[in-house]
Structure 1
Amino acid sequence: MKLHIVILFILLFCTITSCSYENKYQDETSFTLKDFTEQQSLVGSPVNFDDIILRPNQIQIFDTLLITCNLGNERLFHIFNLKSKKKIGERISVGQGPDEMIQPYFIYNQKDIIIFDMITSIVSKYSIEEFVNNPDPKAFEKIKIEEQVMSEINLLGNEMIGSLYRPEHPLYLFDKNGKKTKGFGAYPISNITYSDVEIVEAYRSIFTTNQNDKVAVCHFWTDLIDIYSKEGNLLKRLHGPKHIFPHFKEYNNGNIVTAKAERGTHQDAFYSPVNVGEDFFVLYNGKSLEEPEYNILSKQIFVFGWDGTPKQVFSLDQGVSRIAVDSKNKKIYGISNDPEYHIIEFSYK
């Protein structure tokens, strides 16, 4: 009888004091905003071009050129001159013809303009001069990816890397001819268990590389960043600043199996990581999708070294959904749709 009372008391005490195993990611390094060595408040100003900004979902900077990608428009890429604020022209028609695209994504590179079309699985490479001066630019190289990559693609040394949204690996490597060579990385491990469908949805991510030997995987639904070596070895697993975990549940609807976030648990984390030399910049949101005034626009940018060291936090006076960085002139350009689509310029130190 006394033993039962003792056990009951322990259970009651644990309930009152939340006595449970703290959920952490395996191999994680926890961080908060206090771990960043510097914080800056940035005031943005709209970039007023001589033509309207449509509905861009991506942006890239090439010296004095700003190029937007506008899905759903007849011509997908619009080129602007940042000095003159004039529109240079529009490039690449929508379609499945030899010089057309359907759902393109920039592959970060400053030497050439490289674009991956997710629908046709073709990587097209253009010289900057050709892309800017020719209304119908011709690629100097095209590579067909042998599998349907369901994400953006980045360069990693002489290889390419992207996601197939499979439960075995978060990313996969492809050689210079587009042939899949191996799975890359591993999904995070915590106290939460997932089905194959749940783990793919819970750990959706966007990533960048230093184009040489490092990959930073930035997750959408958990404030987790995994930094990998070129060989796929985990170098640093950064968790913070809110220490969010994704809670997804599998649903069966006839022949369709999917996973959705459990109500009251869904929060935005990272968007738009950008390689900036020895560092990478990434937008941080931190909002709950169930907040009455939720939007995707983020007002913080975190700066990490490629070794995972927290360096800077930029607090923006205006939210943006995607960024590009001009490290030479210390400028950050972001896309905003508040109240209409426009480009915002921030200066940083």
Structure 2
Amino acid sequence: MYTPQTFLILLVFGFLLSCGKAPSESEDKDYIIRTFKPEDVSIPDSLIGKKLNITSLLNPKSILWTGKYLVVGERKVLDYHLHVVDPDSVRLINTTGKDGFGPGEIVAAYQLQRGKSVNECWVYNHTQKLMALFDLNSPGKLYQKAFRQPENMFLAVDMLWNSDSTLICQLADGDDQFVIYDTLGNQLSAYGKWSQMLEDRSPPPNVVSAVHQGKTSISPDHRKYVQVGLLRDYIEILDLPSGKITSVNGPEHNIPEFEVDYSAGYPMAQFTDMGRSHFYKDVVAGEKYIYALYFGKSMDAYFQEGETAREIYVFDYDGNLVETYTLDYSLISLAVDEKNKRFFGISSDEDPNVVIFEYTD
């Protein structure tokens, strides 16, 4: 039996241990929370961009660096969705991705992913529920092959290849954050819960996931999967071999105001602040670092000034902010050439085109 003196000693000892816990990190070994504030952001290096004048680009939206070519995806097209650009010669190499619902055609270039070769690009098209592979050097305008989502993975969205036979994605409904399927539609594993993202556990999971919507990327070795938040400033870093998630919150620590709306017959997030900020507009998971395109302003600034993100935050895979860059062109999307230290983006001005920035570590 403990004596009163023994109990007091244990109580004091436990209090001292709790005081040693860093307030910016959680203790859960499988879900680590790190935070940073505006004062933790270092003075950024200023980069001067070179804007290209590729006249075939009408409404460029997305961009990918394959290691040899830039692939630019259009958001609204007349005939084709993809343009292949050589940034060294500043030449348009190819135009492909014929628009339509026919065999080998696509209706959107929603998400781009590098293939096994620098001459290949995968396009995820959520409208047609398929992943289409394009040979960037082929004179043909159709995809070479495609993976179509089977019925048992119909809820899968934002798909990226995790291996030759598995895909990592999110779900349109359910509490699982990140899910891996095989190509037969069998769910193999799941990581994280949307319900853990808010202190209030009452909103349905699909509402919480809508609050945390954002871009995703996977590292070249397929060991790290990253999501950044558009409406909330956070970054989720999933280490696939261990299943551990590191969540980086900051710099503003903003949660958008929302209500749960049932008018459609099922719960949806209804955002109540029309002047809400947008934060991370795009992300690239590189070999060593994460490159996040940061805005951090109300969308009113975009509608009034026509500008979006002018900053790139660079994180290591432990969630530490290691470098910051500021750009003379605002961008809506980002690609990174780590080998030659170049950023590529799509400008957000009245005449959008590819912009190239050279950077140093």
Q: TM-score range by the shorter chain?
A: 0.7 to 0.9
| 1:348 counterpart letter in structure 2 | Y
Q: Find the counterpart in structure 1 of residue 84 from structure 2.
A: 79
Question: CA deviation digits over 1:72-129, x for unaligned, max 9?
Answer: 3121111222233222232121222221112232124462322222122222334xxx
Q: Could you tell which deviates more after superposition, 269-278 or 149-158?
A: 149-158
Taking the aligned partners of 1:34 and 1:238, their CA distance within structure 2 comes to: 15
Q: Find the counterpart in structure 2 of residue 201 from structure 1.
A: 210
Q: Find the counterpart in structure 2 of residue 55 from structure 1.
A: 59
Displacement after TM superposition at 1:142 (Å) = 2.8
> Which residues of structure 1 form unaligned runs of 5+?
1-21
Taking the aligned partners of 1:309 and 1:143, their CA distance within structure 2 comes to: 36
Q: Find the counterpart in structure 2 of residue 145 from structure 1.
A: 149
Taking the aligned partners of 1:298 and 1:250, their CA distance within structure 2 comes to: 29
Is the alpha carbon distance of 1:316 and 1:110 closer, same or farther for their aligned partners in structure 2, counting shifts above 3 Å? farther
Q: Find the counterpart in structure 2 of residue 215 from structure 1.
A: 225
Taking the aligned partners of 2:188 and 2:207, their CA distance within structure 1 comes to: 25
Taking the aligned partners of 2:291 and 2:329, their CA distance within structure 1 comes to: 17
Percentage identity across aligned positions?
18
| 2:347 counterpart letter in structure 1 | S
Displacement after TM superposition at 1:348 (Å) = 0.4
Q: CA RMSD in A?
A: 2.8
Displacement after TM superposition at 1:33 (Å) = 4.8
Displacement after TM superposition at 1:290 (Å) = 4.9
Q: 84, 94, 97: which one pairs with 1:89? A: 94
Q: How does 1:80-229 map to 2 (within 5 A)?
A: 80-104=85-109, 105-109=111-115, 111=117, 112-126=120-134, 130-139=135-144, 141-146=145-150, 147-148=153-154, 151-158=157-164, 159-187=166-194, 188-196=196-204, 197-210=206-219, 211-229=221-239
Is the alpha carbon distance of 1:122 and 1:80 closer, same or farther for their aligned partners in structure 2, counting shifts above 3 Å? same
Is the alpha carbon distance of 1:314 and 1:251 closer, same or farther for their aligned partners in structure 2, counting shifts above 3 Å? same
Displacement after TM superposition at 1:287 (Å) = 0.9
Which SS does the other structure have where 2:137 is aligned? helix
> Which residues of structure 2 form unaligned runs of 5+?
1-22
Q: Normalized against structure 2, the TM-score is what?
A: 0.80
Displacement after TM superposition at 1:152 (Å) = 2.7
Taking the aligned partners of 2:250 and 2:342, their CA distance within structure 1 comes to: 26
Q: Find the counterpart in structure 2 of residue 327 from structure 1.
A: 338
Which SS does the other structure have where 2:208 is aligned? helix
Displacement after TM superposition at 1:177 (Å) = 4.4
Q: Find the counterpart in structure 2 of residue 240 from structure 1.
A: 250
Q: How does 1:17-36 map to 2 (within 5 A)?
A: 27-35=32-40
8 Å CA contact 1:145–1:179 kept in 2: the answer is no
Taking the aligned partners of 1:110 and 1:269, their CA distance within structure 2 comes to: 31
Displacement after TM superposition at 1:46 (Å) = 0.7
Q: Find the counterpart in structure 1 of residue 15 from structure 2.
A: none
Is the alpha carbon distance of 1:208 and 1:227 closer, same or farther for their aligned partners in structure 2, counting shifts above 3 Å? same
Taking the aligned partners of 1:202 and 1:257, their CA distance within structure 2 comes to: 13
| 2:127 counterpart letter in structure 1 | I
Taking the aligned partners of 1:342 and 1:48, their CA distance within structure 2 comes to: 7
Is the alpha carbon distance of 1:175 and 1:31 closer, same or farther for their aligned partners in structure 2, counting shifts above 3 Å? same
Displacement after TM superposition at 1:220 (Å) = 1.3
8 Å CA contact 2:226–2:285 kept in 1: the answer is no
Q: Find the counterpart in structure 2 of residue 305 from structure 1.
A: 316
| 1:60 counterpart letter in structure 2 | L
Question: CA deviation digits over 1:180-208, x for unaligned, max 9?
Answer: 33433222433334421431321112211
Which SS does the other structure have where 1:135 is aligned? coil
Which SS does the other structure have where 1:300 is aligned? strand
Taking the aligned partners of 2:291 and 2:263, their CA distance within structure 1 comes to: 39
**How many residue pairs align between the two structures?**
323
Q: Find the counterpart in structure 2 of residue 46 from structure 1.
A: 51
| 2:248 counterpart letter in structure 1 | L
Q: Could you tell which deviates more after superposition, 292-301 or 95-104?
A: 292-301
Taking the aligned partners of 1:108 and 1:203, their CA distance within structure 2 comes to: 25
Is the alpha carbon distance of 1:153 and 1:254 closer, same or farther for their aligned partners in structure 2, counting shifts above 3 Å? closer
Is the alpha carbon distance of 1:169 and 1:220 closer, same or farther for their aligned partners in structure 2, counting shifts above 3 Å? same
| 2:123 counterpart letter in structure 1 | I
Q: Find the counterpart in structure 2 of residue 279 from structure 1.
A: 289
| 1:331 counterpart letter in structure 2 | R
Q: Could you tell which deviates more after superposition, 85-94 or 326-335?
A: 85-94
Taking the aligned partners of 1:333 and 1:149, their CA distance within structure 2 comes to: 32
8 Å CA contact 2:261–2:269 kept in 1: the answer is yes
Is the alpha carbon distance of 1:317 and 1:276 closer, same or farther for their aligned partners in structure 2, counting shifts above 3 Å? same
Displacement after TM superposition at 1:37 (Å) = 6.6
Taking the aligned partners of 1:138 and 1:339, their CA distance within structure 2 comes to: 31
Q: Normalized against structure 1, the TM-score is what?
A: 0.82
